[in-house]
């Protein structure tokens, strides 16, 4: 139950009726009327701006309109204790105690489904995320997008949408060739004691390549490693397999499991690229032409030539984009176009791509091509996760591919833990660069916001433990009837904001709102808890059986929200800490 939606509907109904009764003018397209959370200093539960919106069409002051509406709203409703008008023209509503009792009963009986947005239509989502090159294990830089995509999926699933999580494996092209050559040289190093060519900047220097080489030797005793060209395709596929094994292991340790891995090589080999490009040709989106040298490139290095181009400028891109390289093989973009055509063919309502900040420049061309193929403007939504700035011992720490000095996902999990990693990465808007202070998080792990929220849940569990119950047990709400203090009302109001938080987070694809909300809820609970120190009547376990039972129900509602929130984040809620 979203009480803000509930009251918006009620108020709109009142307004429309008043219009019918010729009491009030209502414009044709009624827009901008909201029911909001009032600032805490006002002694009320919800507030609305109706009067201010309707002031102009009625040629009255907002206060006058409010005066007119107040009695109409109250007449219609037995749950309102007090309704008042505040300065510019807000109408503030305070509910009766019984309203909150009914609200709480509903929170409890909805269990983990409290907050699910019931009014939206179910959709089929395809979300592509991570899609890191299969040339080695995942590092910290991959983490943020991975977690963002995963929690976004959970959030959509929570709202009963269908979600398919995909990883696009870029196992085609030059990078992969260099990777597979690196494995080859490591194999030669092991078998023939030939030194690995460390000066070759194209090759991958990391030690994990040695492990991959060892595994390939072990499992392919009959393979002859004398000539790279001869075994190139076999070795490439073996190397990619090994590296995918590592990546899947990393993802699993982060709590992430994709539904599908789609191979770029497969897309190319199935002629999907030609198919898709022909489709685009038919609609005049592809032509032979030249493109100018990019600004960053020294123009002397650039050779202008005729090549196959996609007309992304038709959709607002800076320039048209190349589909074929000089050797006529497909560009990365071309096969990605085919992959997106493949996605479109599978009939999803919404496609989401999670990209790293360094790929933000790619968005225009890929959304253009999706629009060109599907004819739909917003079928594909791209979400960028900004950089993670690593800080070590108080100094920025740059990872270097050449030196092979990476902080891998495994390092991170080992030092900080999966849950803390997820929570910290999610605690900030993905639009903002994130400071990840490795040393600080590790040393001061107790100051971590994750523990703050978990501790709240653990405290509630401990109350249940102390009365010989379990936090997960069914709880009886039949006789529940509680008289709330102001502190308890504050918590209830916060709980009532949970469905709103879910709604905004999923409609704007901003999962960081969840940890932020959970932190606030936990904060209010911790305050409340500490009141029991000075004032025995504010403790949960009290001699009065009825009050103690009711308080148990009350705190159970807090733990319910924490638990379902943490479930969406895929983070543990321990009962003891």
Partner RNA sequence: GCGCUCUUAGCUCAGCUGGAUAGAGCAUCGGUUUUCUAAACCGCAGGUCGGAGGUUCGAAUCCUCCAGAGCGCGCCA
For the segment 352-391, give every residue that binds RNA (CB under 7 A).
Answer: 357-362, 364, 384, 386-387
The 10 Å CB-count burial string (b at 16+, else e) for 147-157 is: bbbbbbbbbbe
The verdict on 201 binding RNA (CB under 7 A) reads: no
Asked whether position 397 contacts RNA by CB under 7 A, the answer is no
Under 8 Å CB-to-CB from 282, ≥6 apart: which residues? Answer: none
Position 120 contacts RNA (CB under 7 A): no
Binding mask 137-166 for RNA (x = CB under 7 A): ------------------------------
Which positions ≥6 away from 60 have C-beta within 8 Å? none
Q: How far is the CB of 384 from RNA (least distance, A)?
A: 6
Name the β-bridge partners of 382. Answer: 353
Whichever of 228 and 455 has its CB closer to RNA, that residue is: 455
Q: By C-beta, is 345 or 358 nearer to RNA?
A: 358
Check binding of 451 to RNA (CB under 7 A).
Answer: yes
Residue 106, interface with RNA (CB under 7 A)? no
Q: Which is nearer to RNA, 214 or 452 (CB)?
A: 452
Question: Closest distance between RNA and the C-beta of residue 536, in Å?
Answer: 6
**For residues 432 and 437, what is the distance between their CA atoms, to the nearest angstrom?**
15
* Count of CB atoms situated within 10 Å of the CB of 520: 14
Q: Which is nearer to RNA, 41 or 486 (CB)?
A: 41
- By the 8 A CB rule, do 117 and 503 touch? yes
Pairing between β-strand 90-95 and β-strand 321-322 as defined by DSSP bridges: unpaired
Query: Dihedral of the CA atoms 276, 281, 285, 291 (nearest 10)?
Result: 100
β-strand partners of 376: none
Site for RNA in 556-575 (CB under 7 A): 575
Residue 2 in the binding site for RNA (CB under 7 A): no
Site string for RNA, 466-485 (x = CB under 7 A): x-------------------
527 binds RNA, rule: CB under 7 A: yes
94, burial (CB in 10 Å: exposed 0-12, middle 13-18, buried 19+): middle
Distance from C-alpha of 485 to C-alpha of 314, rounded to nearest angstrom: 62
- 536: exposed, middle or buried (C-beta count within 10 Å: 0-12, 13-18, 19+)? exposed
Identified binder of RNA from the candidate list 159, 243, 461, 560, rule CB under 7 A: 461
**Residue whose C-alpha is closest to residue 570's, from 257, 348, 308, 171:** 257
Residue that the structure tokens 């997008």 belong to:
145
CA distance 420 to 7: 38
Shortest distance, position 368 Cβ to RNA, whole Å: 12
Based on the shown chain and the rule CB under 7 A, indicate whether residue 119 belongs to the binding site for RNA: no
62 binds RNA (CB under 7 A): yes
Kindly state whether residue 38 participates in binding RNA, applying the rule CB under 7 A: yes
Q: Can you tell me which residue has the tokens 């037995």?
A: 78
- 314 counts as binding RNA under rule CB under 7 A: no
Q: Are 19 and 73 in contact (CB under 8 A)?
A: no
331 within 8 A of 322, measured Cβ to Cβ: yes
Residue 325 as a binder of RNA (CB under 7 A): the answer is yes
Kindly state the number of chain residues that form the binding site for RNA, as judged by CB under 7 A.
Answer: 101
Name 570's Cβ contacts closer than 8 Å, sequence gap at least 6: 150, 151, 154, 255, 422
Q: In terms of CB distance, is 36 or 259 closer to RNA? A: 36
Could you tell me the smallest distance in angstroms from the CB atom of residue 523 to RNA? 5
User: Which of 384, 477 has the CB closer to RNA?
Assistant: 384
Cα 55 from Cα 74, distance rounded (Å):
20
Q: Which stretch binds RNA (CB under 7 A): 95-103, 105-113, 209-217, 301-309?
A: 301-309
269 binds RNA (CB under 7 A): no
Residue 308 lies near RNA (rule: CB under 7 A)? no
CB closer to RNA out of 191 and 504: 504
Site stretch for RNA (CB under 7 A), options 116-124, 237-245, 321-329, 563-571: 321-329
Q: How far is the CB of 45 from RNA (least distance, A)?
A: 10
Q: Is 8 left (phi over 0), alpha (psi -120 to 50) or beta?
A: alpha
Binding residues for RNA restricted to 499-518, rule: CB under 7 A: 503-504, 507, 510, 512-513, 516
Would you count residue 333 as binding RNA (CB under 7 A)? yes
Return the number of other C-beta atoms located less than 10 Å from residue 202's C-beta.
12
Q: 567: closest CA among 425, 422, 447?
A: 422
- Pick from 142, 321, 340, 418 the residue near RNA by CB under 7 A: 321
Site for RNA contains 41 (CB under 7 A): yes
Residue selected from 215, 399, 523, 547 as contacting RNA according to rule CB under 7 A: 523
Our finding on whether 58 is near RNA (CB under 7 A) is: no
Residue carrying structure tokens 């038919």: 282
| 534 lines the binding site for RNA (CB under 7 A) | yes
Q: Which C-beta is closer to RNA: that of 175 or that of 237?
A: 175
Residue 166 or 188 having the CB closest to RNA: 166
Nearest CA among 235, 228, 242 for reference residue 192:
228
Q: Using CB under 7 A, which residues numbered 208 to 267 contact RNA?
A: 264
Alpha carbon dihedral 516, 521, 523, 565, in 10-degree steps, equals -60
Taking the complex as a whole, the smallest distance from the CB of residue 305 to RNA amounts, in Å, to 6
Regarding 326 and contact with RNA (CB under 7 A), the answer is yes
Give the side-chain half-sphere CA count within 13 A for 84: 11
* SS3 category, 443: helix
Site string for RNA, 63-102 (x = CB under 7 A): -----------------------xxxxx-x----------
Binding-site member from 433, 443, 472, 544 for RNA (CB under 7 A): 433
- Which among 63-71, 72-80, 279-287, 318-326 is the span making contact with RNA, rule CB under 7 A? 318-326
Could you say which of 432, 443, 470, 483 contacts RNA (CB under 7 A)?
Answer: 432
């Amino acid at each position: 139950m979203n009480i803000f939606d509930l009251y918006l509907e009620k108020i709109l109904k009142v307004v429309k009726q008043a219009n019918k009764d010729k009491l009030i003018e209502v414009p044709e397209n009624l827009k901008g009327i909201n029911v909001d959370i009032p600032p805490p200093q006002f002694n009320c539960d919800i507030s609305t701006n109706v009067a201010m919106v309707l002031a102009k069409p009625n040629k009255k002051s907002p206060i006058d309109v409010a005066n007119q509406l107040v009695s109409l709203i109250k007449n219609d409703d037995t749950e309102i204790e007090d309704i008042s008008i505040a300065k510019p023209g807000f109408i503030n509503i305070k509910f009766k105690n019984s309203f909150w009792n009914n609200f709480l009963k509903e929170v409890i009986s909805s269990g983990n489904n409290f907050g699910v947005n019931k009014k939206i239509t179910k959709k089929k989502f395809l979300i592509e995320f991570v899609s890191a090159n299969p040339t080695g294990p995942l590092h910290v830089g991959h983490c943020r997008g991975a977690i963002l995509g995963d929690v976004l999926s959970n959030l959509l699933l929570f709202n009963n949408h269908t979600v398919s999580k995909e990883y696009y494996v870029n196992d085609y092209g030059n990078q992969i060739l260099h990777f597979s050559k690196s494995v080859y040289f490591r194999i030669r190093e092991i078998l023939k004691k030939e030194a690995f060519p460390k000066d070759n900047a194209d090759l991958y220097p990391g030690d994990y390549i040695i492990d991959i080489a060892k595994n390939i030797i072990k499992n392919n005793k009959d393979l002859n490693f004398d000539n790279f060209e001869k075994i190139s395709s076999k070795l490439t596929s073996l190397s990619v397999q090994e590296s995918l094994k590592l990546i899947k292991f990393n993802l699993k340790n982060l709590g992430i499991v994709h539904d599908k891995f789609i191979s770029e090589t497969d897309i190319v080999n199935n002629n999907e690229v030609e198919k898709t490009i022909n489709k685009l040709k038919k609609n005049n989106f592809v032509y032979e032409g030249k493109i100018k040298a990019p600004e960053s490139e020294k123009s002397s290095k650039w050779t202008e030539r005729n090549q196959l181009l996609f007309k992304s400028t038709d959709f607002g891109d800076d320039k048209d984009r190349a589909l074929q390289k000089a050797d006529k093989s497909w560009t990365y973009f071309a096969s990605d176009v085919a992959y997106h055509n493949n996605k479109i063919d599978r009939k999803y309502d919404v496609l989401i791509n999670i990209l790293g900040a360094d790929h933000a420049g790619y968005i225009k061309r890929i959304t253009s091509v999706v629009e060109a193929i599907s004819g739909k403007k917003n079928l594909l939504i791209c979400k960028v996760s900004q950089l993670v700035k690593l800080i070590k011992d108080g100094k920025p720490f740059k990872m270097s591919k050449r030196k092979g000095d990476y902080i891998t996902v495994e390092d991170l999990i080992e030092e900080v833990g999966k849950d803390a990693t997820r929570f910290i990465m999610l605690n900030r808007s993905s639009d903002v660069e994130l400071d990840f202070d490795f040393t600080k998080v590790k040393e001061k792990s107790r100051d971590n916001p994750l523990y703050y929220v978990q501790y709240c849940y653990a405290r509630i569990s401990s109350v249940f433990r102390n009365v010989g119950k379990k936090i997960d047990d069914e709880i009886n709400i039949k006789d529940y009837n509680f008289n709330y203090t102001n502190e308890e009302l504050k918590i209830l109001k916060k709980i009532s904001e949970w469905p709103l938080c879910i709604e905004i987070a999923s409609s704007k694809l901003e999962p960081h709102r969840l940890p932020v909300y959970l932190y606030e809820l936990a904060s209010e609970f911790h305050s409340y808890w500490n009141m029991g120190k000075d004032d025995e009547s504010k403790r949960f376990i009290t001699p009065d059986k009825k009050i103690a039972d009711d308080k148990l129900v009350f705190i159970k509602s807090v733990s319910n929200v924490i638990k379902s929130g943490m479930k969406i984040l895929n983070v543990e809620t321990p009962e003891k800490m």
